[in-house]
Structure formats: structure tokens, C-alpha cells
Amino acid sequence: MENEITKTDIAIIGAGPVGIELAIALERTGLDYLLIEAKQIGDAFTKWPPNTHFYSTPEHVALAGIPVHNLNQQPISGEQYLAYLRTLVEMYDLKLRLYEPVVDIQKTAVGFELRTEHLTGPKFYQSRRVVLASGGMAAPRLLNIPGEQLPHVTHYFPGPHPYFRTRVLVVGGRNSALETALRCWRAGARVSISYRRPDFNYDIVKPHLAMDVGDRLRKGEIEFHPSTIPVEITPSYVILAATLDGVTPDGRSFQHETDFVLLCTGFVADMSLFKMAGVTLCGTEQAPLFDPATMETDVPGLYVAGTAAGGTQSRFTQFISTSHDHVGKIIKALTGSAPDRLGTVAARNNAVTWEEVKAN
């Protein structure tokens, strides 16, 4: 039927870990919901390089009280986590709509109207309430410099093998940049790092990465260009400009010859649905305004869950491990009771904030 409308009580937009955990909590309560995903579940993890592991331990990324087990009890890989997410979806037979990006959301007198763009054409939904769990890494943070779109330049690290016996410039100084540099070096690349600060921020960088990179720099195995930013990329070299404050060039620059450029400059959130729905977005991070007790935004009936609550984060505070309580708060706001099972199993959740949610 043309323009057939599907009705549901709660529409969750985004089938990442927190969206899936919320869907499981709703499934357990018997509330009517739909989980709508623009691509495939856990899409962000499909962009990870092969055999990339979480920095968090397994209990921190477990969902709905269902533990993540593996053979060595160490942090799991992105591939292992995707298998875990698939298991959860099938275990609860979640009401899932895949490859349906939501392109329009409108507030109505009785809730919300959504329009998605499925491969077969537009689909329409009516929902009393909406939860935006759309994540915070929708697209790479562009430098907007000449040559950024050249074929030997990438914001997504495909793994180290393509760079064997080549010269690689890694731009950035946080965890992903340092891990990228180390993996390329160990795979046989000649690696240089350009970072806009005079040194790495050791309050942010994981200690094992800092120690490893520090050893490589002291031995001259990886070349370091501190207080520099790329201002132009050509097929054979990058122009690096010296900075005074980590942002502004001071007038000095030099050419750095390289075969490939890996821009580990972070990612930005897509806050367009929040804006479209009328949610107030705050500050340079464009974080949505919401009630921290319920996760409801300033648009009644519209909630936020997961890393989307931080917008485009500059100093990360929203992770999977800190978002379990978002699910607890939303379920409590909808039903009056917080769910019993979130995150990992009860024996390992002593420090998790949703216990405070249940007590209040």
C-alpha cells in the first residue's frame, strides 16, 4: 500500500551497542518498539582495522547482563564484538529495521512522524516516543586542506599491510594515531608522526601505547614532528607548518616526503536529526540538551542514549561503558522501574552507575 504507516510506541534510532541494549530492555518489559538502523548493526565497528581490540576490558562492553567471554580474557576485537551483537539480536529476536536511514523526523500532537529511505523506497512511521542512539562518529573530522581527498590519503586505517615497505605519515597524537603508527612500523613501514602539540597528552593516551611509542622515538625507529600541522598534501610530500598553540601556524613550514598519509584526526557526530526535531544543541560540541535524570531532551518524548549525548566530543566522557545508565534511566522514565540487567553480570558491576538509578 502506498505510503503505508507503521505505528509503534517507541522508535530507537541507531542499532549500536546502546541501541541494542535498550531494545533488549524494552523487549524484556514487553513494551512495543522498533529498532531502526541506517546501515547494519554495530556499523562503527565495521570501519575498525582488522584485529583491532578494545581498550576497555570485556565486562565494560558487555550488554544487558550477558557477559562477553573469549579464550584469553583480554580485550576483544571488533570482529568478536560484532559476533556478540549478532548473537544478542538473534537471542531476543529484536524488532529490527536495517538499511533504513531516518531522513525526516517531525513532532506531532501525539508523538513523532519518521520517514526513512529504504533501498526499495521511503517508509513511514508514527511513534509516541523516540530515542536517538545515533552515536558520535558519523564522519571523519576533516582538516579542509588542499590534497586531503587524494587517493593516498585516508581517515580510515585499513590495517597495516598496504603500507609494508612504504613511507607513512600519521597525523594525530591520541590513542588511534599511536596504535596506527605502531602497527604500521611493526608491519615494515617507515613511519613518521605529525602532532600539533609539543608532546602527547599522557592523561589521554593509554600507558602501554605511550611507553611503546616512547621507546620507538628514543631509538629513532619512528620519526616525530611535534608542534606541526599539515597545511597541504601533494602526491609526493606534505607541507607541515610549525604551530605556536597547536592550531595556528607560526609562519615556518617544511616539506615532508611520504608515500601515504593517515589522518587520525577524530570523528564528528551527525546531529541533524536532533536539530530537525527541535532539540537545543549546546556549545561547540553541539551536545543535546537533556535531563540527566531521564535522558529526555527539551523536546518532550524524545530521548538521547549513548555517545550521541556528548555530540562531537573533544574530551571523551561518553563511552559504551558509561552509557549503560542511559538505558536504565530511560526505562525507569518509561515504566517507573529500572531494569535489573544492564552491562555485565551482577557480580562485576559494583562500580556501574545504574545501581544508583535503581535506588532513586
Q: Kindly report the backbone phi and psi dihedral angles of residue 108, in degrees, each rounded to the nearest multiple of 5, phi listed first.
A: -125, 180
Of 246, 263, 280, which one is at a domain's C-terminal end?
263
| Predicted confidence (pLDDT) per residue in 191-239, tens digit | 999 999 999 988 889 999 999 999 999 999 999 999 999 999 999 999 9
- 296: cell is 529526555
Do 346 and 231 lie in one domain? The reply is no
Run of H or E residues at 354: helix 354-359
114 grid coordinates: 519518521
CA-based nearest residue to 31, from 110, 99, 105, 94 = 94
Q: In which residue are the cell numbers 540538551 written?
A: 289
Domain boundary among 231, 263, 295: 263
Which residues of the chain are modeled with pLDDT < 50? 1, 351-360
CA-closest candidate to residue 126, choices 34, 26, 29, 37: 34
Is 343 in the same domain as 301?
Answer: yes
What angle, rounded to 10 degrees, do the helices at 17-29 and 324-335 form? 30
117 and 18 in a common domain = yes
- Domain shared by 112 and 19, yes or no: yes
Q: Are residues 256 and 288 in the same domain?
A: no
Side-chain half-sphere of 176: how many Cα atoms within 13 Å?
17
Residue 94 is part of a domain; what is its CATH number?
A: 3.50.50.60
- The total domain count for the chain is 2
Q: How many CB atoms lie within 10 A of CB 202?
A: 10
Q: What is the DSSP letter of 317?
A: -
- Shared domain for 77 and 225, answered yes or no, is no
The residue from 199, 231, 263 where one domain ends is 263
Of the candidates 106, 103, 128, which has an alpha carbon nearest to the alpha carbon of residue 117? 103
User: Is 83 found in the same domain as 146?
Assistant: no
134 lies in the same domain as 278? yes
pTM: 0.91
**13: Cβ–Cβ under 8 A, 6 or more apart, which residues?**
19, 36, 102, 114, 130, 131, 132, 133, 134, 273
Distance (Å, whole) CA 25 – CA 264: 35
Quick one: pLDDT at residue 70? 86
Considering the domain architecture, whether residues 146 and 237 belong to the same structural domain is answered as yes
Residues linked to residue 233 through DSSP beta bridges, in sequence order:
238
Cα dist from 323 to 89, 133, 137, 194, 255, whole Å: 19, 10, 15, 33, 44
Q: Do 75 and 161 reside in the same domain of the chain?
A: no
* CA 327, 38, 313, 198 torsion-angle sign: positive
20 and 159 in a single domain? The answer is no
The pLDDT value given to residue 251: 83
At residue 150, the pLDDT reads 98
CA-based radius of gyration for the chain: 22
Under a CB-based contact definition with an 8 Å cutoff, are residues 288 and 275 in contact? no
Full domain range(s) for residue 219: 142-263
Specify the pairing of strand 281-282 against strand 153-154: unpaired
99 and 236 both lie in a single domain? no
176 with 264: CB under 8 angstroms? yes
Dist CA 90 CA 247 (whole Å): 47
- The continuous run of DSSP H or E covering 104 comes out as strand 102-108
